[in-house]
């Protein structure tokens, strides 16, 4: 199954994205934890692209394409922002130090990397693409 969605770069559309991902995964018998983790990871990436790459410019848009089968979930997020959100210089944060300092941000990508099996950022011409992958295979008992 493949689904697609286009949204403007507004934080107000994050609920639309969460609902889109949830609806796309409902028939795949995921545990509530698995479903919520995937929705959280996609929400974090989309929020970062809206805020950091597109400056919440509602005249800009993101395209999302989800491909799901019994064994795997993949989502591609496309945008044309001049400010590429590509956390290639990303380093895992020192969480105890963040807590000690009372920092409130900067851990989203750490969370996404822990939830998803693979996260890729690429640029094709003027188009930026983020791809997120997660195996949906249930562990054998």
Number of domain units in the chain: 1
What are the start-end ranges of the H helices in the chain?
A: 14-25, 32-48, 95-101, 108-115
Q: How many CB atoms are closer than 10 A to CB 7?
A: 19
Residue 141, domain member (yes or no):
no
Per-residue tokens: 74? 């993949």
Residue 20, domain member (yes or no):
yes
Residue 122, domain member (yes or no):
yes
CATH number at residue 42: 3.30.565.10
Q: How many CB atoms are closer than 10 A to CB 102?
A: 6
Cross-strand partners of 16: none
Q: What is the pLDDT of residues 81-127, one digit of tens each?
A: 887 666 555 556 566 665 666 666 666 888 899 999 999 988 888 89
pLDDT of residue 110: 84
Containing structural domain, residue 111: 2-135
| pLDDT of 141 over the 50 cut | no
Render the burial of 68-79: b for 16+ CB within 10 Å, e for the rest: beeeebbbbbbb
Q: What is the pLDDT of residues 29-75, one digit of tens each?
A: 899 999 999 999 999 999 999 998 899 999 999 999 999 988 999 99
Residue 140, domain member (yes or no):
no
| pLDDT of 15 over the 70 cut | yes
Residue 14, domain member (yes or no):
yes
């Amino acid at each position: 199954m493949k689904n697609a969605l286009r949204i403007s770069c507004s934080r107000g559309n994050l609920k639309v994205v969460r609902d889109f991902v949830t609806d796309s995964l409902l028939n795949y018998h995921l545990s509530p934890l698995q479903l919520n983790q995937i929705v959280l990871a996609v929400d974090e990436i989309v929020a970062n692209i809206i805020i950091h790459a597109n400056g919440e410019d509602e005249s800009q848009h993101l395209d999302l394409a989800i491909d799901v089968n019994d064994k795997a979930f993949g989502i591609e997020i496309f945008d044309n922002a001049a400010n590429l959100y590509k956390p290639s210089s990303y380093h895992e944060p020192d969480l105890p130090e963040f807590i000690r300092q009372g920092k409130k941000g900067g851990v989203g990508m750490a969370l996404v990397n822990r939830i998803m099996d693979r996260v890729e950022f690429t640029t094709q011409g003027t188009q930026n693409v983020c791809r997120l992958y997660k195996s949906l295979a249930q562990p054998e008992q």
